A and B are shown apart, each in its own frame.
Chain A
C-alpha cells in the first residue's frame, strides 16, 4: 500500500502533466489524496477481515469459521433450578414458559409432568432456562431457496440474532404441519456427518446448527430438506445474569406448584454407617456459560478444518472432548498409557480437563455418554476422564515501586494469561519474575519467593505433569521509593 505522501506526489505529477495550476488544484490534490488513501486503507482492512487469524471483528471470525463448518459456540443461558411440589397436575414441554416476570422469564429445559401425590413433603428439582427475551419460534414451509440450508429469520426475512445453544428443530415428513417430528441438533459437524436415519431403530439424523454472524443459526439436514415440507425452529435467545436481581427468585410463583426447601437425611457416601443431612433450597441457579471467546476461535476452527471433522487418530480425542463439553470444559489434554503403566489393565487414553468456572463439573453420566458415543472412533476403546489437579503455589513478593499504586491486577493478569489454569505448560519462575519486573511503576523486586505444599519442584524449567495445572496465589508487599 502506498503512503499518503506517495499518492499525493503521484497526483501532483498527473496534475502537472495536464498543466493544471493554481490553489484550487492543490486543494483538489489534497482532497483526492485523502479519498484514495482512505479507500486503500478500507480495502486493506476488508482483506484482513477475510482471514480467520487476522480478522479483528467477531462477525468476520464467525463467517470464516462457517467456511470450514465450525459452528462457534453460542453460549448457554443461566439455569434456574426449582425444587417443586406439585399441588395440581402440571404438564410442560421443552422451552414452554413456566414463569413470566418483569425482568426475566423462565422456560423449561426439559419436558416435565407431575401430579399431586397426596403428601405435603414430596418435592423434586426441575431445571429451567432463564432468559430476558421471548423464545424465537418460527414455522416455515421449505422452498427451493432453503432446501439445502434453512436460516432462522424473523417475519421480515432478517436473520434472528443472538440465539443461544438451546435450540429445538421439528421437521415434517409430508407437506403438512401435522406430522412434525423433533430432530436432534448438534454443532459438531462430524456428529452430523456420521448420523443417519433408521426408522426401525428410532434413529434420526442430527441437524447441524451452524452459527452465522450475529449469532444466528443456519440449519442443515442430511440429504437436505424436502421442498414443500415444514420446519419449526424454537430457540432460546441468549442472555446473561447481568441485570437480573436474584433476590426476586424468592418471589417466583407458578400456578399448581409450590417451591419448597427440603431437608433429607441420607447415608454418608464416605461412611455408610453415618447419615448426613442434605438441604435443597427452593431456588438455586448456575450463571450463564459465555459464548466462545475471540482468542480461542482461530485455534479451534483451524483444528476442526484440519481434521476435516473426521476423528482420524488418537490425538483428535482432545478436539472432540473439548468440543462436546464446550459448556463445561475450559481446556483439556490427554496421555496415552500402555497396558501395565500407571495401573491400567489395557491400553488407555486418559483425558485430563480443567472445568469452566461457575459451571457444573463433568459427572459420571457425561463420562459414560462420551465413552459409549465416541469410544468406537478410537483404536482402543478404553478412555478415562479425570479432572486435572491443581498445584497450589504461594507467591510472596516485596516490590519496590515508584508510585503508591497497586499492581495486583497486572500481576493477576500475567498469571492468568501465562501460567494459571493451563495444561501442559513449562513453568519458569525467572520468566514470571521478569514479566513482573517489566510492569509500569515497578522499579525492582526485592523479594520473590515461591512455595508449595505439593512435591512439585519449582526450580528451573518445571514441566507440569499431564494432569496438573498451576494455581499461583500472589501476595504483594509494596515499598515506595520515589
Chain B
C-alpha cells in the first residue's frame, strides 16, 4: 500500500505519525506484511520452455503478449516427444514476414539419430549472448525431446552488442575492446 501526500502535509503531526506507522509496519518485518508485488512471484514451477521464450523475445527486442507466449509454450508441449518440435520452433519463433516486414528469421535444422541429436543447425542466428542462448535452448530441448548428446552447428551468427550508453566526462580516453564476430562450430 502506498500513501501519497504533499511534503508540507508531513509537517502536520497526525499525517507524520500515519506515515511513520505505515513505514515501520512494512520495514520492521515484524508483521510480515505482503505488498501487491508479492503477486508477481506467484507463478508456476520452473519451466525451461518458458524461460527460453522469455529470453529469446527479449533478445530480439520483440514485445509479445503473455497470452501469445503461452500459446507458443503450449504448441511446443503439444509436439513434445517428436522432432516436430523443431518445426514448431520455426513456425512460431520466426514470425511470418521475415526481416522485411518486421518479423524475425529463425531457421533451425536437425539430425536426430536416436538417442543423439547429432546436429542442431541454426542457419541464421542473431543473439546478444551466444552462451546463454545455447544453454537455454538446450534446457528447453531437454524437456521436449529425449536425447543423450547434442551438437550445435551455427552457419551464420550475428552477435548483437547490447548495453546502456552512458556519458562520462573522462580525463583520459579509455579504448574500447573490439569484438570480432566469427563463425562458430
Contact = CB atoms under 8 A, between A and B. Distances in A.
Contact of A144 (B13, B22, B70, B102): B102
Contact of B67 (A2, A11, A39, A149): A149
B74 A69 contact: yes
Interface in B46-82: 62-65, 67-68, 70-72, 74-75, 77-80
Contacts of A308: 74, 77-78, 80
Nearest to A11: B21
Contacts of A227: 95-97, 101-103
Given A50-B42, A149-B65, A10 B31 contact: yes
A190 B74 CA distance: 10
Nearest to B13: A24
B166 to A, nearest CB: 29
B70 A66 contact: yes
B135 interface: no
B21 A43 contact: no
A357 to B, nearest CB: 33
Contacts of B28: 10, 14
B184 interface: no
B20 A148 contact: no
Given A144-B102, A147-B96, A227-B101, A14 B68 contact: no
Nearest to B15: A28
Contacts of B102: 144, 227
A222 B72 CA distance: 10
Interface in B19-56: 20-22, 24-25, 28, 30-36, 38-39, 42
Residues of A in contact with B, size category: 35 or more
A220 B71 contact: yes
Interface string B104-147: 00000000000000000000000000000000000000000000
A226 interface: yes
B165 interface: no
Interface in A272-314: 308-310
Contacts of A7: 25, 31
Contact of B39 (A13, A32, A43): A43
A35 B31 CA distance: 14
Given A66-B70, A68-B74, A148 B95 contact: yes
Interface residues of B, number: 44
Residue of B38, B64, B68 contacting most chain A CB atoms (<10 Å): B68
B103 A147 contact: yes
A72 interface: no
A24 B14 contact: yes
Interface string A310-339: 100000000000000000000000000000
B91 A50 contact: no
A39 B34 CA distance: 9
Nearest to A143: B102
A228 B75 CA distance: 24
Nearest to A312: B81
A47 B39 contact: yes
Contact of A28 (B14, B65, B77, B91): B14
Contacts of B33: 2, 36, 39-40
A68 B95 CA distance: 22
Nearest to B81: A310
A308 B78 CA distance: 5
Residue of A6, A50, A147, A226 contacting most chain B CB atoms (<10 Å): A147
Contacts of A220: 71
Contacts of B92: 148, 223-224
Contact of B95 (A35, A39, A224): A224
25 contacts: A6-B31, A10-B30, A14-B24, A17-B24, A20-B20, A28-B18, A32-B18, A35-B22, A43-B35, A43-B38, A43-B39, A46-B39, A68-B70, A144-B102, A147-B95, A147-B97, A148-B65, A148-B72, A148-B92, A148-B95, A189-B78, A193-B79, A223-B96, A308-B80, A309-B77
Given A28-B14, A32-B18, 8 more contacts: A10-B28, A36-B22, A47-B38, A50-B42, A148-B64, A220-B71, A227-B102, A309-B74
Task: Enumerate the 3 nearest inter-chain pairs by beta-carbon distance, A residue then B residue, closest first.
Answer: A148-B68, A69-B74, A227-B97
